[in-house]
Amino acid sequence: MKLMLIVALILNLVISGCELYALVHIKDKLNILKYYTYLQNFLSLIVSLICCIYLTISIVSGETVPEFVMGLRYIATCGLVATMFIFIVFLGNGKKIAITEDDFQPGFNPKKANIIFHYVCPIVSLLSFVVFERQIDLSNDIWTAITAIPSCIYWIVYIVLTKTKLWEEPYDFTATDKKNNFIEVLTVLLIPLSFIAISFILWNIK
């Protein structure tokens, strides 16, 4: 049990370090509030730091890690996996990439940020949550409802701000010059639906 917690601590430290390294290089820190990727990775940074504190206490003193910590890790992991899914399906492979050199301080390669945000942190978080944190109690199924709240709020606000033209749409999903509006609307709907599916799968394999 203690070995599993130690490995989980190491993996959460890796997540925290990678997230901090990439996020501090963002040129305009307010972009953290605009992009889904930044929001989910910022949330993951905070959650992993909290998790590291409680894992350390548990390893040293033998105290049980509180369930709310695992609940937060569940939310963060779902968000990161959803971010990876969105990047691969909707933004990667030559499609529109939201993260560019303009988003970061001079000398920082945006490809490095893409790798950290969309691959390294989601995979490490998933590995830690499913394998090494599975012995920590997470039995209250209210978390399956709570975990969808951040993403649902984001995409509702996203659609409202886009349709009312109160911001420049960061992902260009619903641009009016698109030929097939049905496909674009379906794309926006599939994103929160994919998050719900991911959260359901992770809950059942945890």
H helix runs in 87-180, sequence order = 110-115, 121-127, 143-146, 149-163
Among candidates 114, 142, 124, which has minimal Cα distance to 77?
124
Note the pLDDT of residue 177: 55
pLDDT, position 91 = 67
Q: Which residues contact 56 (CB under 8 A, 6 or more apart)?
A: 9
d(CA 104, CA 121): 19
pLDDT, residue 110, reads 86
- Token pair, residue 87, equals 């990047």
pLDDT in the model for residue 15: 98
What pLDDT tens digit does each residue of the chain (206 aa) get? 799 999 999 999 999 999 999 999 988 777 677 888 888 999 999 999 999 999 999 999 999 999 999 999 999 999 999 889 888 876 665 455 556 777 888 888 888 998 999 999 999 999 999 999 988 989 888 998 888 888 788 888 888 888 888 887 776 665 555 555 566 666 667 777 787 888 889 998 87
- Cα pseudo-dihedral 105, 22, 45, 77, rounded to 10: 130
